Copies of this chain bind each other. A is one copy, B any other.
Amino acid sequence: MTEEGAGRPERDPEAVSRFVEHFAAQLVAAGMPRMPARVFASLLVSDTGASTSAELGETLRISPAAVSGAVRYLDQQHLVSREREPGSRRERYRVHGDQWYEALTNREAVIRHWQDALREGVASVGPDTPAGLRLGETLAFFEFVEKEIETIMKRWRVHRDETFGGA
């Protein structure tokens, strides 16, 4: 076996770093600013799911200010939480384990905004015009999807428990 007994040495820092950058690239493509994306990816691969500012700054080679800004963003998006270790001003940033990707789909407010904009459009051209019909159908689509997403997430939790839970 690949040496056991003294901790857990088997982790190729280079490979991990490649993952961080590749995963962050996906987050960026999805609209997240670069720095928060890298910080988030780093937290995801950390063994405990949590890191200090200093750790993040060192592995990513960025300034404390950059870490601070990134964490503020992630906090606002409810993608990480902050923990204070009692008896220290060191803060610990934690990724919400299996819930972060649920947050990705929980864009309820976002979908609401789309719907609002579309309703405004229908009103502005009249519901019986060609444009009104086109916009109305799109609106119906968003309303449909909104409900279906809820269903999907329920089905996911069942599936997850079957796969990863006891059974």
Binding site for B on A (CB under 8 A): 8, 10-12, 15-16, 18-19, 22-23, 25-26, 29-31, 44-49, 97-98, 100-101, 105, 110, 113-114, 116-118, 120-121, 123-126, 129-131, 134-135, 137-138, 140-142, 144-145, 148, 152, 155-156, 159-160, 163-164
Contacts and interface: CB of A to CB of B under 8 A. Distances in A.
Given A11-B124, A15-B120, 4 more contacts: A11-B129, A12-B124, A26-B117, A31-B31
A144 to B, nearest CB: 5
B12 A45 contact: no
Secondary structure dominating the interface of A: helix
22 contacts: A11-B124, A11-B125, A16-B124, A19-B120, A22-B117, A26-B110, A26-B113, A30-B31, A44-B135, A45-B125, A45-B131, A45-B135, A49-B131, A98-B138, A101-B138, A101-B141, A137-B160, A137-B164, A141-B160, A144-B155, A144-B159, A148-B152
B44 A121 contact: yes
A145 B152 contact: yes
A16 B124 CA distance: 5
Contact of A47 (B30, B117, B130, B163): B130
